Amino acid sequence: MTSDGFRSYRSVVLGVAWRTVHNALTTPNLVIPTLAFPFFFFLAFAGGLSQLSHLPGFHFPEGYTSFQFVFVMLQSAAFGGVFTGFGIARDFEYGFARRLMLAAPHRSALVVGYAVAAVIRWLVVAVLLTVAGFAVGMGVGGGGVELIGLYGLALIVNSAALLWSAGIAMRFRTIQAGPAMQMPVFLALFFAPVYVPLSLLSGWIHAVARGNPVTYFLEAGRSFVSGEAAYAGVAFGAAFALVAFFGLWALRGLHKAEAAGG
Amino acid sequence: MSDTWTQIGNLARRSIVRTLRQPAYVIPPLIFPTLLVTVNAAGLRPSTLLHGFPTHSFLAFAIAVPFIQGALFSTMNAGTDLARDIQTGFLNRLALTPMRGSALLVGHMAGVMVLGLIQSIFYLCFALAVGVRFSAGVGGAFVILALASLIAASFGMLGAFLALRTGSGEAIQATFPFLFVFLFISSMNTPRNLIAVHWFKIAATINPVSYLIEGVRSLIITGWDGQALALAFAVALAIGSISVVLSTWALGQRMART
Amino acid sequence: MPSKGIEAAGLVREFKGGVLAVAGIDLHVAEGEIYGFLGPNGAGKSTTVHMLTTLLPPTAGRATVAGFDVVHEGPKVRKAIGAALQEAALDPILTGREHLRLQTALHALPREERKPRSDELLERVGLTGAADRKVRTYSGGMKRRLDLALALVHRPRMLFLDEPTTGLDVQSRSALWQEVARLAKEDGVTVFLTTQYLEEADVLCDRVGIIDQGKIVAEGSPAELKASIGRPTVDVVPADHEQRDRVSAVLAQFGELTQASPHGVAVLLSGDEFGLADVVRALDAEGLHVEHLQLHAPSLDDVFLAQTGRTLEGAEQEQQTELVP
């Protein structure tokens, strides 16, 4: 790509990201789910289910609040991607995507722009969640490097979820496709050891959770918080693989949207 | 009088037909609560090992939740439908007919109630299919259906009030997170006596949704518990009564304006 | 060497289910020309615009815009064109100024140019006062004007306007016509405009292509098109209806008598040698008093009628009837 081409690409990415973040953070209907849901789940799970930490075999020295903090962090990252996907679908349904497609010399820059927006949007939530976590006395055994590991992992999950949702949004081009974006992510998140460690799950949920990459994101994230890094390689490997796979999925979705006329 | 009943019947039928013709309104309230309870029951099964947990089956404990969650959905759906009537001018058209305002509200509520009943029958079948048995027997199942329909109607009227006040479908949709707060900050996943975090215990105790869930739950895992049932019906009736008063006032305001 | 205007050959677009929206059209639009694409709803106008603006790949045929192939050189085409599509796709949450900010970024205008260019365009389309209001508060005319400003941010050499005045009041319509004419005349912008309004095509366009059922059925300047289908008619209603025969005798000198209004007599003027003034003088010379006299010049609707056997309005109604089950 020439330097002019790069400048133009970057400009489209930043333009799309600016507009998406601007809308997400200034429209009450969009801000509320973005900010409120993660806090709410954090409070509901850490508050309502804390007795679970007394179960035999439940060993997480940093406490149940920290245990749930990791899930909520990863969940907010995944749903941040999905909610941005809703915006893409809305743009196609109401024709705004045509304006973007007409103006952008390289249309893959639009997908990258949405992805950057999803990251920025999630970072706002991540900062607030972290502050809230420490405010309610969350314990952290790991150091700075481990915490960066947790946020890095969540960031990759955010991008994977965005690319998945973008692929759906550009194939269906209607906000009615929202459940198709949300439901698989919801299931992937909850068919994992959300409330108790993997070792305490039994039956079919244990079998499903073992094959679910989210399980390894959670296990790795929790190990980062407790300062005993485990499953890090598997988790990052799986996360990058998902980004690569859903990246192709999103680009094919973009081609389908182009073929259909936006 | 018979004219009023005819109007109510027609409006209730319209409310039902309209909802049944929109898969996006019918399917999520059936699928989402059952999916959530399945997922939660799997993940939270170890909770039954806690000392003092009232049953050995978390699914039996949690199956009350879809009945209440489905009813909460009706707040949004019924409200969104009425808001659309306002946005499209349908309410204005009704206002030009000799129809009584009360017929609109009662018709609307009757429609929501029937849909709530259909939803509850689905959850009941689901519960039986996954092996949950009702301690209060067949009679208990009928009481659950009655209570769930009443709750749906009460929340449906709350949705009607919001629609009449705001006239905006989007505003109604924005209530979704708040409904979730009421659902999750309750005794949905843990009996109140086992909630260890003090503020959460207080919040769950003052949250009316806890009593609705516990009323339904008592018929499944305890049997006939007069106190739990009385509290559940009382809370549902209280919410319904307040909503009816508010909706009637809002309808008067809206009709006066249009 | 490809033309810097628009060239299309055998352009076809077929949608799922075998719906043939554009059935093979050839186009040549010269640089700096205002070309109007006139036709009823569903004729294939917007589909053609979408193909020419790289929003929709053609099923067959080829087209170049500003010298670039619409299929293989999409980015270059997009750089050269501006477009205001039928549905002014604006974000209701953003203000007018924010839309311009986004559009200047999408077109990678240098940072220092973005604000002055936005201000200039807002002023040009008369939206300076409303620039900081959210677009959801704009009227239809304001949205159209903002859409036009957005299409112009990168100073395109070519402008596509898809039914730019549909739904606008007379004042907004004429303001938009003036701006489009100015762009072509002063800035040398090539304009490709679709419309279903005869007057718009007549007043604004250098050349007009009439499209029906996905095919161009006639093409030329409005004057050429009108001249191609015939001559003007003069319709006369005598003050004394008993004198119709005498009026007929006078009018017969000027051409072939034709269908007239009730109580009237009409003549299709033959050739260019006679005009309305000749008819008036002849009637006056015979001492005939006239209650009503009208010269009916051929319109583009007559051209459409001659080519398709239907009026534009009739085609419109047909379209609507097809939509109602």
How many angstroms separate the CA of residue B69 from the nearest CA in chain A? Answer: 16
C106 → closest Cβ in A23, A103, A261 = A103
Task: Specify burial of residue B226 (Cβ count, 10 A radius: 0-12, 13-18, 19+).
Answer: exposed
Contact A48, A42 (CB under 8 A): no
Kindly give, in sequence order, each residue whose CB lies less than 8 Å from that of residue B143, ignoring residues fewer than 6 positions away.
B136, B219, B229
The Cα C124–Cα C133 span in angstroms is 17
List of chains touching A (3+ CB pairs within 8 A): B, C
How many angstroms separate the CA of residue A156 from the nearest CA in chain C? Answer: 26
What CATH number does domain C231-296 carry, 2.40.128.630, 3.40.640.10, 3.30.70.100, 1.20.910.10? 3.30.70.100
Kindly give, in sequence order, each residue whose CB lies less than 8 Å from that of residue B249, ignoring residues fewer than 6 positions away.
none
A261 → closest Cβ in C50, C90, C150 = C50
Residues in chain A closer than 8 A to B200 (CB atoms): 43, 47-48
Alpha-carbon distances of C283 from A112, B68, C288, rounded to whole Å? 77, 89, 5
Structural domains in chain A (count): 1
What residue of C is the nearest CA neighbor of A113?
A: C106
pLDDT tens for chain C, 325 residues long, are: 567 899 999 999 998 888 899 999 999 999 999 999 988 888 899 999 999 999 899 999 999 999 999 999 988 999 999 999 887 778 888 899 999 999 998 888 998 999 999 999 999 999 999 999 999 899 888 998 999 999 999 999 999 999 888 878 888 888 888 889 999 998 999 999 998 888 888 889 999 999 988 999 989 998 888 777 667 788 888 888 888 889 899 888 888 887 777 788 888 787 667 778 888 888 888 888 888 888 877 777 777 777 776 666 666 665 544 443 3
Residue range B180-208, pLDDT digits in tens: 788 889 999 999 999 988 889 999 999 99
**CATH 3.40.50.300 domain locations along chain C:** 6-227
What residue of C is the nearest CA neighbor of A96?
A: C89
Counting residues of chain A whose pLDDT is more than 70, the rounded percentage is 99
Q: Tell me how far apart the 2 most distant CA atoms of chain C are, in Å.
A: 79
Kindly give, in sequence order, each residue whose CB lies less than 8 Å from that of residue B192, ignoring residues fewer than 6 positions away.
B201, B204, B205, B210
pLDDT higher than threshold 60 for residue A222 = yes
Residues in chain A closer than 8 A to B184 (CB atoms): 40-41, 44, 48
Tell me, yes or no, if A184 comes closer than 8 A to chain C by beta carbon. Answer: no
Tell me which of B200, B201, B207, B210 to substitute to probe the interface with A (most A C-beta atoms closer than 10 Å).
Answer: B200
Give Cα C209 to chain centroid, integer Å: 9
Please give the angle made by the CA atoms of A143, A144 and A150, to the nearest 5 degrees: 95
Contact A77, A235 (CB under 8 A): no
**CATH 3.30.70.100 domain locations along chain C:** 231-296
Alpha helices in chain C (DSSP H): 45-52, 74-80, 96-106, 111-124, 140-152, 170-187, 198-204, 222-229, 244-251, 276-285, 300-308, 312-323
Residue span of the structural domain in which A137 resides: 3-260
Strands C60-65 and C158-162: unpaired
B45 vs A48: CB contact, 8 Å cut-off?
A: no
User: Which regions of chain B does DSSP assign to beta strands (E)?
Assistant: none
Tell me, yes or no, if A211 comes closer than 8 A to chain B by beta carbon. Answer: no
What are the structural domain ranges in chain B? 2-257
What is the ipTM, given to two decimal places?
A: 0.79
**A107-127 mean pLDDT:** 94
Residue range B213-239, pLDDT digits in tens: 999 999 999 999 999 999 999 999 999
A99 → closest Cβ in C89, C98, C105 = C89
CA-derived radius of gyration, chain A: 19
Residues in chain A closer than 8 A to B172 (CB atoms): none
Tell me, yes or no, if A63 comes closer than 8 A to chain B by beta carbon. Answer: no
CATH code at C6-227? 3.40.50.300
How many angstroms separate the CA of residue A168 from the nearest CA in chain C? Answer: 19
B50 vs A203: CB contact, 8 Å cut-off?
A: no
Tell me, yes or no, if A55 comes closer than 8 A to chain B by beta carbon. Answer: yes
| A vs B contact (3+ beta-carbon pairs below 8 A) | yes
Residues in chain B closer than 8 A to A40 (CB atoms): 177, 180-181, 184
Tell me, yes or no, if C30 comes closer than 8 A to chain A by beta carbon. Answer: no
Measuring CA to CA, which residue among B7, B10, B238, B27 is closest to residue B118? B27
A52 vs B199: CB contact, 8 Å cut-off?
A: no
Q: Is the pTM of this model over 0.90?
A: no
List of chains touching C (3+ CB pairs within 8 A): A
Burial B46-67 (b: 16+ CB within 10 A, else e): bbeeeeebebebbbbbbbbbbb
Tell me which of B45, B181, B205 to substitute to probe the interface with A (most A C-beta atoms closer than 10 Å).
Answer: B45
